[in-house]
Amino acid sequence: MKPIHPYLDNTGRDDVIDGGTKMIPIKTEKGTFNVWTKRTGNNPAVKVLILHGGPGASCEYLEAFDTIFPGAGVEYYYYEQLGSFRSDQPNEPSLWELDRFVEEVEQVRIALGLGKDNFFILGQSWGGILAIEYALTHQEHLKGVIISNMMSNCLAYNEYAENVLMPQMDQEILAKIKGFEARGETDNPEYEELLFEHHYVYHVLRAPLEEWPNSVMRGLNRINKDIYVPLQGPSELGMSGKLLDWNRTEDLAKINIPALVISAEYDTMDPAYMEKMSKILPKGELVYCPNGSHLAMYDDRDVYANGLLAFLEKHK
């Protein structure tokens, strides 16, 4: 018997919750599970599927797009990947693999009826990795791809953290943070407090913590660590999980569709490296947010929004 999902309605239709919200069944080798999606808007020419970060976060932290897309008439879809807050969360560690997530995105695309005449994919952070992999596998279905706040080489991402970001920190604080990580105590509240005070407010969202939007706090607090830790690793200062050796920089040349790279000056991702990415992509473009960080759609919203909307308008 199929388990009842907490976000299904009681009308007897298990694919619709309310309005544009839909549960999509995803077939895997471990069975069929449901993922949550929500459509806003109606535009036959421009449909954007948003891939959230984490991995394992809720897409709530990306609700900034509710202030960007509706006024421009863009049809867009929030989608929580398998294992995330509003989707099924099976206890199946073998499902947390990059290629399986790519296949999941393809099943979501088919279920939503998206295709090469209207389908743009936008991946932020880990979602950027997923967007690159999806484009390399299924670009025939895409009209364009947006890679937001994610480098195409995780080892280079670690090098930037080690050589640029960490030297800027108070070294005694950095030693304490690394001590927690070495002892496997990343769930310690002090570890999280140190990260917020000395890292997050400079490189994740450049505002005092008390000013962070509720949507961002909800999204980050709901990260499924059963997915996050195996793929990303336990450290918040770099990559150490399964994705450590992921590198698609040279393969970007194979993505022959319009592609936008969005970088930010204070991001955890090297803006110079992301500019290089935009030049390797055959049809690459760059939006650089001079006042932004990892969540530049909040702390450099106008630059982020204007660049993104101009790209969609140009290629619709």
Which active-site residues does the annotation give?
125, 267, 294
Burial class of residue 169 (count of CB atoms within 10 Å of its CB; 0-12, 13-18, 19+): middle
CA distance 51 to 128: 7
With tokens 């909307």, the residue in question is: 309
The single-letter DSSP state of residue 153 is B
Rounded Cα–Cα distance for residues 135 and 263 (Å): 19
Q: Spell out where the chain has E strands.
A: 21-28, 31-40, 47-51, 75-80, 119-124, 144-148, 259-264, 284-289
Q: Where are the alpha helices (DSSP H) in 113-209?
A: 126-138, 154-160, 166-168, 171-182, 189-195, 201-203
Contacts with 254 (C-beta within 8 Å, 6 or more apart), sequence order = 136
Q: Where are the beta strands (DSSP E) in 169-312?
A: 259-264, 284-289
d(CA 55, CA 15): 24
- Alpha-carbon distances of 196 from 138, 189, 192, 224, rounded to whole Å: 38, 11, 6, 19
Cβ atoms of 138 and 163 closer than 8 Å: no
Give the CA dihedral 129, 178, 211, 164, nearest 10 degrees.
-60
Q: How many CB atoms lie within 10 A of CB 291?
A: 15
Whole-angstrom Cα distance, residue 200 to residue 167?
Answer: 15
